[in-house]
């Protein structure tokens, strides 16, 4: 695959890849299994200590009564919205136009549940209090994603978030948190996961994003909610006889990486500064509020790619394995900071960004 | 758990457990990972050599154009039936009254797809050609399960199976094979998987039943069918970023156990004979046609359980970890033969069944 993709190939050969924790290879699981006792019994269709203990730990972490382990967030979130729709007797929910449910799930929510989705706010900004106040439809549930990934991982002010949630509570609108990257927002908000989740009726968290596990998700809420979610998990074919490869890896990397979320966040701010000093390059947000951000470049994708390939080969620093076209003259990519960043010598990083700046000046036509 | 369950506890302490391959513990995955190269790249949302190669192998094994790896059979089979319903423009399918879809999936097919199910034949016997010929409804698809697990793993004569399939083909009814245990029927039918699958438009196979993997399923059919199934897999939340723990274990145990299916089948016949020589005990089928069968006992569950506990403690042979009530005066359980059986000394087995017969005579009141 990388043979036809020079950027990916150059990234894979780079000595200092900048983003994420490690390569997505089998070693990620081998490390977990080497740390696990072979005599540990498998979970069996949602039962057994292995799954029950982890669910209890996560419920406590999120400050919810109960939690259920799911193979994926797609499954967990559709089910959450369906349950809130059934409880309200309404087939309408609201979320951001770039919600995962809207753009990455082949319309599963609509095809499987015939739920109508109200898109709140605009594609290029967060949902605001005024968007919520102006909602005309009688919706069962508002889904809020924190951070809003597709616009670079932005976050509302905490006061605005509280105001949105308070309004919905008063109106009898259920609140679901798409907290795939919930861990990553704790340092900025300076709050515990439980404090943030208290604003919501249900919450989903993921274990392969910031945590760097293999796959898997937790859905949490009150007991009636999670009980019903287990019935739907069975209906979806998500109640596997054994989910332990995902549970063990979730638990393993959760323990190791949760304490490092502030480090990743501080490093993201450092890296964004490097980017923003380059001509024709800007990050979104300008100052990250989590360990992630987007990089926007004033060059067409076809022009940036060979520049990056040369850069990686010259400096050994790999900035991204892909670039996405955003218009005919601009392109962008996402950056997530994980374990790798701390291992890159500052000198090498400085050198790489000096070279990037020089190359960008040349490409854009700025005189030195 | 086993503290409150003396039968399970006694079974777990038995030196010679009779059924299946091994304990369902983490060791099953550790063994696979120890055999895998850590540098192997993860599959990523259904792409990558790891998943694509296995899908191609399985398509070839089943004699189908293409195959898709799913986390579960529940998900795979609902999707197969939905696709055939859409292609025919009918919302009706037919299957056995004890089909997995009818009794183990919380009505997922009906709740998620609003598909109406026609139950063919009776609960205590196989679907017959006459049942199919008498169908009045205009169904999109007939699902056939081979072997029919809930009645002890029975199989129709191959000629009758061919006649059923031929009739459906003529009537434009799609045929789906629930082949969760397809491997296990090959020795009896003396046919390849591809020969059997040729009778069907689509087929699902499982990797944690006869094969003894961790979880996972393959759905196979022509290219248009599997392409659509991938869209539904995404909608269900089954298109995980990484399915490799299941794929690697499926592949590993498939290679090791497929060649042993005839051995398991022969051993099942031997074990069934042991059972049938005991008073008040009969197997269903009387002579197994696969590596599985059901054991029916003329005692209430509460009377059989302490007998089994004593038996395991006296002889070291563990026959079953559970017993299910079938009426006020009878009970039953399922037996699946795997790797373990070959390790039990014949003498110990003979002794155990002599003791079981003696205990049954006593309990039922037959004079020696």
Asked, colleague to colleague, whether B2-19+260-364 and B43-241 share their fold, the answer is: no
SS3 state at B213: coil
Say whether B26 and A44 touch across the interface (CB within 8 A). Answer: no
Q: Which residue in A has a C-alpha nearest to residue B244's C-alpha?
A: A26
Residue B194 exposure: Cα atoms within 13 Å on the Cβ side: 9
- Residues of A within 8 A of B243 (CB-CB) are 215
Which pLDDT value is given to residue B137?
86
Determine the length of chain A.
368
Which pLDDT value is given to residue B214?
97
Rounded Cα distance between B1 and A48, Å, is 9
Sort B174 into a burial class: Cβ within 10 Å, 0-12 / 13-18 / 19+.
Answer: buried
Rounded Cα distance between A108 and A75, Å, is 9
pLDDT digit string, tens, across residues B148-172: 999 999 999 999 999 999 999 999 9
Residue B1 banded pLDDT, cuts 50, 70, 90: very low
Q: How far is A365 from chain B (nearest CA, A)?
A: 39
Which pLDDT value is given to residue B4?
82
- In B106-195, which ranges are E strands? 116-119, 141-145, 174-179
Pick the closest to residue B283 from B272, B267, B274, B299 (CA basis). Answer: B272
pLDDT digit string, tens, across residues B221-267: 999 999 999 999 999 999 999 999 999 999 999 999 999 999 999 99
> Measured between CB atoms, does A242 come within 8 Å of chain B?
yes
Which pLDDT value is given to residue B365?
87
Rounded Cα distance between B251 and A174, Å, is 44
> Measured between CB atoms, does A336 come within 8 Å of chain B?
no
Please report the DSSP string for A9-77 in residue order.
HHHHH-SEE-SBSS--BTHHHHHHHHTS-TTSBPPBTTBSHHHHHHHHHHHHHHT-SEEEEES-HHHHH
- Work out the number of other CB atoms within 10 angstroms of the CB of residue B220: 30
Rounded Cα distance between A145 and A96, Å, is 8
Whose structure tokens read 């245990």?
A: B181
**Do the beta carbons of residue B314 and residue B12 sit within 8 Å?**
no
- Residues of B within 8 A of A245 (CB-CB) are 29, 214, 245-246
**Do the beta carbons of residue A290 and residue A365 sit within 8 Å?**
no
Which pLDDT value is given to residue B97?
98
Which pLDDT value is given to residue A185?
98
User: If you average pLDDT over residues B123-138, what whole number do you get?
Assistant: 95
User: For residue B132, what is the enclosing H or E element?
Assistant: helix B129-133
Q: Which residue in B has a C-alpha nearest to residue A238's C-alpha?
A: B72
Structure tokens at B188: 């009896």
Bridge partners of B147?
A: none
Say whether pLDDT at B3 is over 90.
no
**Do the beta carbons of residue B227 and residue A99 sit within 8 Å?**
no
DSSP character at residue B343: G
pLDDT digit string, tens, across residues A324-334: 999 999 999 99
CA A41 remoteness from chain centre: 31
* Structural fold of domain B2-19+260-364: 3.90.1150
CA B333 remoteness from chain centre: 14
Pick the range with the lowest mean pLDDT from A144-148, A209-213, A275-279. A209-213
B residues 27..56 contacting A (CB < 8 A): 27-30, 33, 36-42, 44
The structural domains of chain B, with segments of one domain joined by +, span 2-19+260-364, 43-241
Which pLDDT value is given to residue B24?
92
Rounded Cα distance between B197 and B208, Å, is 20
Mutation pick from A216, A240, A247 vs chain B, by most beta carbons of B within 10 Å, is A240
B residues 256..275 contacting A (CB < 8 A): none
Bridge partners of A174?
A: A141
In order of A19, A296, A309, the CA distances from A5 in angstroms are 19, 21, 10
Contacts of A62 (CB under 8 A, 6+ apart): A193, A194, A197, A203, A205, A218, A220
Structure tokens at A304: 């940036």
Among the CATH numbers 3.90.1150.10, 3.20.20.150, 3.40.50.460, 3.40.920.10, which is that of A2-20+260-364? Answer: 3.90.1150.10
User: If you average pLDDT over residues A248-275, what whole number do you get?
Assistant: 98
Say whether pLDDT at A365 is over 90.
no
CB pairs under 8 A between A and B: 162
Distance in angstroms between the alpha carbons of the first and the last residue of chain B: 38
Rounded Cα distance between B203 and B229, Å, is 12
pLDDT digit string, tens, across residues A9-66: 999 999 999 999 999 999 999 999 999 999 999 999 999 999 999 999 999 999 999 9
Sort B221 into a burial class: Cβ within 10 Å, 0-12 / 13-18 / 19+.
Answer: buried
Task: Compute the C-alpha angle B254/B188/B262, nearest 5°.
Answer: 45
Say whether B25 and A33 touch across the interface (CB within 8 A). Answer: no
**Do the beta carbons of residue A311 and residue A352 sit within 8 Å?**
yes
A residues 200..219 contacting B (CB < 8 A): 208, 214-215
CA A122, A126, A130, A133 dihedral sign is positive
Contacts of A285 (CB under 8 A, 6+ apart): A152, A153, A154, A293
- In chain A, which ranges are E strands? 16-17, 66-70, 92-95, 116-119, 141-145, 174-179, 202-206, 217-221, 281-284, 292-297, 317-318, 324-325, 331-336
Rounded Cα distance between B84 and B132, Å, is 18
- Residues of A within 8 A of B30 (CB-CB) are 33, 36, 38
Pick the closest to residue B140 from B98, B82, B101, B196 (CA basis). Answer: B82
Say whether B237 and A108 touch across the interface (CB within 8 A). Answer: yes
Whose structure tokens read 């109200």?
A: A118
> Measured between CB atoms, does B231 come within 8 Å of chain A?
yes
SS3 state at B200: coil
Say whether pLDDT at A366 is over 90.
no
Distance in angstroms between the alpha carbons of the first and the last residue of chain A: 38
Which pLDDT value is given to residue A4?
82
Mutation pick from A47, A110, A235 vs chain B, by most beta carbons of B within 10 Å, is A235
Rounded Cα distance between A297 and A280, Å, is 6
SS3 state at A79: helix
* Structural fold of domain B43-241: 3.40.640
CA A69, A70, A73, A77 dihedral sign is negative
For B30, the closest of A25, A38, A238 (CB atoms) is A38
Say whether pLDDT at A109 is over 50.
yes
Pick the closest to residue A300 from A358, A355, A363 (CA basis). Answer: A363
For A36, the closest of B26, B111, B239 (CB atoms) is B26
Pick the closest to residue B18 from B364, B337, B345, B348 (CA basis). Answer: B337
Say whether pLDDT at A1 is over 50.
no
Average model confidence (pLDDT) for chain A?
97
DSSP character at residue A288: -
Which pLDDT value is given to residue A59?
98
């Amino acid at each position: 695959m990388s043979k036809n993709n020079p950027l990916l190939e150059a990234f894979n050969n780079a000595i200092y890849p900048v983003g994420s924790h490690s390569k997505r290879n089998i070693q990620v699981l081998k490390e977990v299994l080497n740390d696990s006792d072979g005599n540990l019994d498998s979970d069996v269709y949602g039962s057994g200590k292995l799954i029950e203990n982890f669910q209890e730990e996560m419920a406590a972490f999120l400050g919810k009564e109960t939690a259920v382990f799911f193979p994926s967030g797609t499954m967990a979130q559709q089910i959450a919205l369906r349950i809130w729709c059934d409880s309200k007797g309404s087939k309408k929910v609201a979320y951001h136009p770039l919600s995962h449910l809207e753009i990455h799930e082949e319309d599963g929510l609509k095809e499987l549940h015939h739920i109508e989705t109200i898109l709140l706010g605009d594609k290029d900004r967060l949902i605001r209090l005024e968007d919520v106040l102006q909602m005309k439809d009688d919706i069962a549930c508002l889904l809020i994603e924190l951070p809003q990934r597709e616009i670079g991982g932005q976050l509302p002010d905490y006061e605005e978030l509280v105001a949105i949630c308070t309004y919905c509570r008063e109106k009898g609108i259920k609140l679901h948190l798409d907290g795939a990257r919930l861990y990553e927002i704790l340092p900025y908000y300076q709050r515990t996961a439980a404090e943030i989740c208290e604003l919501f009726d249900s919450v989903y968290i993921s274990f392969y994003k910031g945590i760097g596990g293999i796959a898997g998700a937790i859905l949490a809420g009150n007991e009636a909610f999670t009980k019903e979610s287990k019935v739907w998990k069975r209906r979806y074919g998500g109640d596997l006889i054994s989910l332990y490869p995902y549970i063990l890896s979730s638990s393993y990397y959760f323990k190791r990486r949760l304490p490092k979320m502030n480090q990743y966040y501080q490093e993201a701010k450092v890296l964004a500064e490097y980017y923003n000093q380059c001509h024709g390059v800007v990050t979104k947000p300008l100052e990250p509020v989590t360990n992630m951000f987007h990089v926007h470049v004033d060059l067409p994708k076809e022009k940036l790619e060979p520049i990056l390939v040369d850069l990686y080969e010259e400096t050994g620093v790999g900035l991204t394995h892909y670039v996405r076209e955003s218009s005919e003259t601009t392109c962008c990519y996402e950056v997530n900071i994980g374990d790798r960043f701390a291992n890159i010598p500052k000198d090498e990083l400085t050198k790489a960004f000096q070279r990037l700046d020089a190359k960008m000046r040349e490409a854009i036509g700025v005189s030195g």
